[in-house]
């Protein structure tokens, strides 16, 4: 790739990478306390929270994987972005107030305060396992991308060399910079990537074979039908029923119980900064369906027209599109390549920052040296980063095939789907039901992966023998359905065990500040349903089209949030109200889900 770069493009790549390194590593020059090293001194403003959340979220797996799925499957992948909005609202209005009351460093500390130290330990182990899987995947896709970027140059790395480069950069950023460096890098990356994604998407839509978004929709209507959100319930990758069940649970995990994502809101200066930053990140996520996934769907028609059908591998869509639609010599290629290179490292060093935090507070200060000094705590966290990276390098090299043509994003989601639902069960039942028992929570956390394997076995060996089941849900159990089954079975198990242990006087801790009542959430859901059900009935009865219903449905949603805002005792001006922005975000989500039905 780089052999075709102009001098301007190459200069842009080098300057942007140097700026990223210098700006983010500047903070490493000053000596830090443990609070400053792991949590940036709880000083993040809302825009830093938003930029860091988005920078962590839009890593190389997201960019390459999302566009690749848009190319091979279609716009339905947008659910991963659009349907994240309900989870963001739950984070903002349920979990942020709870997490910030006691200034937790890690979510495992919350579990210990709500349940007991055993739940804290189990969460730490499960999250480290989850991050290890993500880290291995990040090394794989990152090394593969570096190889393609540097293909044909004297700098072209082997698969192993690419992994070692990424691991080395990760260690430098995480060990020497701490969270402040990570956040600065995330914010710079966010700006670069927004420009890059907008540029790529716009140039793709402007190709004569596409003719803009409206042209794409017209081509798609007569073509492969990729620009629709809802695929059949038995679709092997993205069934619509799995979106509203399993993906809902996965989004709740990612936005409310995932340490390396939530750590940003824990480090915010105020609760308002945490809320507004999370909502702003939600708006940024809504760019991805149109300028990444939609561009991937457009690439399907563009590549078919120019190169023939199925010539490009899904995970190579981004770089092939870069070669095809972005002109060389204006700095645009350099800008996009710099952004992609940054994205290779972004999520990895964000995850490792959380690894160092959990190892320092949930292992070192909890079990090894409770009265450790700040410097000893930081050193232990740094040592943990070295160890995790070493193991991940070995596993990435031995377990992944760099020539694979599968959809990597979906493979990674499937691999981690055994762990996530149990965490959601423990957190949500702990917050919503005061009588949730700590022993019950530990059992469910430990058993959730086993429940998942059991669901696979029962479905694939017994239930799938029924023609009705196969026709309805597919030949094998889709991971989204598995996630929902783990959540349902785990919820039933935690409820039954809580009743049993509470009767035996093994009582749950009673922390009113760590729980809420369900009535507020239930009432909001009922009001939302009361507004949307009539519109949905008109759509299903073919009285109006989904496209016609999109704007009214969005407006009534915004009106509902306006009603909530007017009920506040102290009403801020609209541009300072997080409820106003929450309404705009939810209204945008509703419009997309109707219009692209």
- Residues 516-526: b if buried by 16+ CB within 10 A, e if exposed: beeeeeeeeee
What's the pLDDT tens digit per position in 553-594?
Answer: 999 999 999 888 887 766 677 667 899 999 999 999 999 999
Which pLDDT does position 206 carry in this prediction? 95
Tally DSSP H helices, then E strands, for the chain. 28, 0
Q: Which of 268, 295, 61, 128 is nearest to 199 (CA)?
A: 295
Other beta carbons within 10 Å of 563:
12
Q: Which of 52, 141, 200, 185 is nearest to 400 (CA)?
A: 141
- Enter the tokens of residue 116: 């007991």
Rounded Cα–Cα distance for residues 140 and 138 (Å)? 5
What's the pLDDT tens digit per position in 380-389?
Answer: 988 998 999 9
Rounded Cα–Cα distance for residues 59 and 193 (Å)? 10
Instruction: DSSP for 59-105, please give it.
Output: -HHHHHHHHHHHHHT-GGGGHHHHTTHHHHHHIIIIIHHHHHHTT-S
Residue 239: DSSP 8-state: B
Residue with tokens 């620009």: 227
At residue 268, the 3 state secondary structure works out as: strand
Per-range mean pLDDT, top range of 193-197, 303-307, 394-398, 585-589: 585-589
| Contacts of 143 by beta carbon, 8 Å cutoff, 6+ apart | 157, 159, 160, 161, 162, 163, 165, 166, 396, 402
Which pLDDT does position 428 carry in this prediction? 95
- Enter the tokens of residue 51: 């930029």
- Enter the tokens of residue 189: 């990356």
Backbone phi and psi for residue 82, each to the nearest 5 degrees, phi listed first? -65, -45
SS3 content of the chain, % helix, strand, coil (to 5): 80, 0, 20
Other beta carbons within 10 Å of 323:
11
What's the pLDDT tens digit per position in 487-523?
Answer: 999 999 999 999 999 887 655 555 666 777 766 777 8
Range with the poorest average pLDDT among 332-341, 503-512, 541-550: 503-512
Rounded Cα–Cα distance for residues 327 and 333 (Å)? 7
Contact 579, 561 (CB under 8 A): yes
Q: Which of 283, 342, 291 is nearest to 318 (CA)?
A: 291
At residue 417, the 3 state secondary structure works out as: coil
What's the pLDDT tens digit per position in 102-158?
Answer: 888 899 999 999 999 999 999 999 999 888 888 888 888 788 877 777 776 667 889
* Structure-model confidence comparison of residues 100 and 518, the more confident one: 100
- Enter the tokens of residue 49: 């929270």
Which pLDDT does position 18 carry in this prediction? 80
Average pLDDT taken over every residue of the chain: 87
The model carries a pTM of 0.91
| Contacts of 341 by beta carbon, 8 Å cutoff, 6+ apart | 13, 17, 146, 149
- Enter the tokens of residue 475: 């030949």
Rounded Cα–Cα distance for residues 273 and 588 (Å)? 22
What's the pLDDT tens digit per position in 232-276?
Answer: 999 988 999 999 999 999 999 999 999 988 998 999 999 999 999
Which pLDDT does position 29 carry in this prediction? 61
* Structure-model confidence comparison of residues 427 and 181, the more confident one: 427
Contact 440, 118 (CB under 8 A): no
Rounded Cα–Cα distance for residues 351 and 353 (Å)? 5
- Enter the tokens of residue 501: 């242990």
- Enter the tokens of residue 35: 């609070």
Rounded Cα–Cα distance for residues 437 and 443 (Å)? 10
Which pLDDT does position 27 carry in this prediction? 63
Other beta carbons within 10 Å of 130:
21
Rounded Cα–Cα distance for residues 583 and 578 (Å)? 9
Residue 329: DSSP 8-state: T
Which pLDDT does position 131 carry in this prediction? 87
At residue 461, the 3 state secondary structure works out as: helix
| Confidence band, pLDDT 50/70/90 cuts, at residue 8 | confident
> Cα–chain-centroid distance for residue 100?
21
Which pLDDT does position 249 carry in this prediction? 96
- Enter the tokens of residue 393: 């390098």
């Amino acid at each position: 790739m780089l052999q075709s770069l102009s001098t301007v493009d190459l200069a842009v790549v080098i300057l942007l990478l140097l700026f990223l390194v210098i700006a983010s590593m500047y903070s490493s020059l000053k000596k830090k306390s443990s609070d400053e090293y792991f949590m940036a001194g709880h000083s993040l403003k809302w825009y830093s929270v938003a930029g860091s959340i988005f920078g962590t979220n839009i890593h190389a797996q997201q960019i390459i994987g999302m566009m690749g799925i848009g190319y091979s499957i279609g716009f339905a992948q947008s659910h991963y972005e659009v349907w994240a909005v309900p989870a963001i609202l739950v984070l903002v209005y349920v979990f942020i107030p709870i997490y910030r009351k006691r200034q937790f460093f890690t979510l495992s500390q919350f579990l210990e305060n709500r349940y007991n130290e055993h739940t804290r330990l189990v969460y730490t182990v499960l999250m480290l396992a989850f991050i290890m899987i993500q880290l291995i995947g990040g090394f794989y896709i990152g090394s593969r991308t570096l190889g393609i970027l540097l293909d044909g140059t004297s700098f072209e790395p082997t698969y192993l060399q690419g992994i070692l480069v990424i691991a080395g950069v990760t260690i430098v950023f995480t060990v020497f910079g701490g969270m402040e460096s990570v956040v600065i890098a995330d914010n710079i990356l966010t700006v670069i990537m927004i420009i890059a994604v907008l540029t790529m998407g716009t140039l793709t839509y402007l190709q004569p074979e596409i003719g803009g978004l409206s042209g794409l929709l017209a081509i798609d209507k007569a073509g492969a039908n990729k620009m629709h959100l809802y695929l059949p319930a038995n679709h092997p990758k993205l069934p619509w029923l799995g979106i509203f069940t399993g993906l809902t649970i996965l989004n709740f995990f990612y936005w409310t119980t995932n340490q390396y994502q939530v750590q940003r809101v824990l480090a915010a200066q105020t609760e308002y900064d945490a809320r507004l930053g999370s909502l702003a990140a939600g708006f940024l996520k809504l760019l991805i369906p149109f300028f990444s996934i939609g561009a991937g769907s457009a690439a399907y028609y563009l590549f078919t027209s120019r190169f023939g059908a199925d010539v490009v591998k899904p995970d190579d869509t981004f770089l092939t599109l870069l070669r095809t639609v972005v002109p060389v010599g204006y700095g645009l290629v350099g800008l996009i390549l710099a952004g992609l290179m940054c994205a290779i490292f972004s999520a990895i060093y964000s995850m490792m920052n959380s690894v160092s935090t959990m190892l320092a507070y949930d292992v070192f200060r909890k079990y090894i040296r409770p009265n450790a000094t700040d410097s000893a705590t930081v050193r232990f966290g740094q040592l943990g980063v070295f160890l995790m990276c070493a193991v991940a390098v070995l596993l990435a090299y031995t377990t992944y095939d760099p020539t694979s043509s599968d959809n990597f994003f979906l493979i990674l989601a499937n691999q981690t789907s055994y762990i996530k639902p149990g965490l959601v069960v423990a957190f949500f039942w702990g917050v919503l039901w005061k009588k949730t028992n700590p022993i019950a929570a530990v059992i469910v956390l430990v058993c959730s992966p086993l429940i998942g394997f059991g669901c696979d076995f029962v479905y694939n060996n017994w239930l799938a023998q029924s023609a009705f089941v196969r026709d309805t849900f597919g030949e094998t159990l889709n991971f989204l359905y598995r996630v929902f089954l783990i959540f349902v079975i785990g919820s039933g198990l935690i409820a039954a065990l809580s009743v049993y242990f509470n009767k035996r006087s093994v009582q749950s801790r009673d922390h009113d500040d760590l729980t809420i009542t369900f009535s507020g959430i239930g009432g909001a859901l009922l009001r939302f349903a009361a507004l949307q059900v009539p519109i949905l009935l008109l759509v299903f009865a073919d009285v109006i089209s989904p496209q016609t219903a999109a704007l009214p449905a969005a407006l009534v949603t915004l009106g509902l949030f306006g009603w909530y805002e007017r009920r506040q005792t102290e009403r801020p001006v609209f541009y300072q109200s997080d409820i106003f922005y929450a309404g705009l975000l939810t209204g945008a989500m509703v419009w997309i889900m109707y219009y692209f039905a």
